Amino acid sequence: MKSLDCSSKRVLFRRLCLLCTIIAQAILSLLPTGSVAQIAGDAPPLTPGLHDLRFSRADEPAIRYAISIPGNYSASTPVPLILALHFGVGGGDPAGAGGVMVQILIGPALAELGAIIVAPDSVRGNWSSPENEKAVNALLDMVLARYSVDKKQIAVTGYSMGGAGSWHFAEKFPERFRAAIPIAGRPPASAAGWRLPVLAIHSRDDQVVPFGPTEARIAELQKAGVNAKLIALTGITHYQTNRFTGALRQAVPWLREVWK
């Protein structure tokens, strides 16, 4: 194969730059109006927008996370809190995955709540690992200590691996949340002992995480008298994450009713 000459290299470089610009604009178009990106240290931001931060822990790895502060936030007025768990990264580096989750799905869908959204990057592997359990709980403790949060209005949500993580955290740490919204996530094998209201969102055409177990688990919870609801979608495959935005937007009135 012949090597590229200088002119060809310049054309290729310009095309790559254009592609990167298009991708960046597409992502930014999905952000809630007025949000901004910012990289900072451990100090919690109070300005509205999406911030990419690191939370240092003694004798533990720092947690990288994104946090979205609503435009009307005031330390004198408690607001809802949403924990958002990102999808799997196929064994790759999860750095920034939490922020992407907020940008393409959670932020646009739940903006009307006026909630703080915190989205950690997984430490290693699935959200059900001991490392991630410890990291997520530490991050929640920090957010609750530093921000004005209404503790009666806290929910956990997530997509794919994060959907499974939502089921997991709601089942194992129900005292931390008031609702769970797993999206395209594999549910637990049994709903025995389940305590939280849950709204599951799943596509019948999901080719990665089967629809059946979610449908069965919601039916089991309903039979047990739990506030459980399923939004069943069609025509959406597993990797079309942003197409779940409309369904997740339906969680806003549901959450408001649950949180009364």
Average confidence (pLDDT) over 203-210: 98
> pLDDT band for position 228 (50/70/90)?
very high
Identify the band that residue 113 occupies on the pLDDT scale cut at 50, 70 and 90: very high
Would you place residue 1 in the very low, low, confident or very high pLDDT band (cuts 50, 70, 90)? very low
Q: Among residues 197, 221, 246, which one has the least CA distance to residue 30? A: 246
Query: Order of strands across the sheet with 228-233?
Result: 49-57, 60-69, 116-120, 79-85, 149-159, 179-183, 198-203, 228-233
Q: Which residue did the predictor score with more confidence, 41 or 48? A: 48
User: What pTM was estimated for this model as a whole?
Assistant: 0.84
- The tokens describing 26, both together, are 């597409």
CB hemisphere CA count around 153 (13 angstroms): 21
What are the structural domain ranges in the chain? 31-258
Mean pLDDT of the 150-168 span: 98
The pLDDT value recorded for residue 43 is 66
Short-list 105, 109, 139, CA closest to 122: 139
Higher per-residue confidence, 134 vs 34: 134
Q: Span 31-258: which CATH code?
A: 3.40.50.1820
Confidence of residue 41 (pLDDT cuts 50, 70, 90): low
pLDDT of 258 above 50:
yes
Place of tokens 């609702």: 179
